[in-house]
Amino acid sequence: MLIFPTMELQNNKCVTLDKGRLESAMLWHVDPVETARGFAASGAEWIHVTDLNALEGDDSNVELIETIIRTAGVSVQLGGGMRTRETVERWIDKGAGRIVIGTLAARDPNLVVELAKNYPDQIVLAVDVWQGQVMTEGWRQSGAFTPEGFIEAFGDAPFAGIVVTDIDSDVEDTDAQLGLISSLADTARVPVIASGVVHKADDIARLKYVRNIAGALVGRALFRKTFSVEEALEIARPGPEPVAEFL
């Protein structure tokens, strides 16, 4: 299972959100570029970056994200404000390893399927869930989709993965979040990446054995130093396969 150390960027700073509330972001006094480099030095294969300003049409973080992509030494999965074909393709040209798309998938699913076909293993579908509905527009607008129906509508589209976030579960209610994400992973046709579920190291151990969950975004716990990237990667590493003993 892949671990995606995660940074949410707002006004060129690292922050974390409580239930997707942009207005009450918690600020972390760290350098984003050095933080990304630290994740890479700790052995991460990917990092996940969300541009919170871009959700509101603000390009304040563009230069910072370009620097992270160029210098971090690790592949970047980037989300936030991917509302047009041009934006998606521009970030791929700039070197982003994967692009996470949510609102555009609800507005123009045919375009997103086309992008997935044109950029194999680079387009990730975002499914952000609030009270049983898929949210768009930076978690502010409820669509007319259930998460199950939203995922099913894309059929066999060749996404690199599906990031599932249960926004309205309590931050510490891991069981409720795991219930939703496990259910969606069981029916999805591409691997699911769990978001917002990992609060402690044991949560990684639980996720590791859920069918079709291929990764987890881990942000707040790393900034709080609840555990390290190295510890997360060690727990997520596949265990040895059982070997039959022959007498």
- Residue type (1 letter), 225: K
Among 8, 166, 168, 203, the one annotated catalytic: 8
Among 51, 128, 168, 203, the one annotated catalytic: 128
- Is 128 assigned a catalytic role? yes
Interacting residues of 206 by C-beta distance below 8 A, sequence separation 6+: 174, 178
Q: Taking phi first (over 0 means left), then psi (-120 to 50 degrees means alpha), and beta for anything else, what does residue 123 get?
A: beta
Give the separation between CA 142 and CA 68, rounded to whole angstroms: 32
Residue 3: DSSP 8-state: E
Closest CA to 157 of 188, 195, 193: 188
- Is 148 assigned a catalytic role? no
Phi, psi of 81 (to 5 degrees): 75, 20
Residues marked active site are found at 8, 128
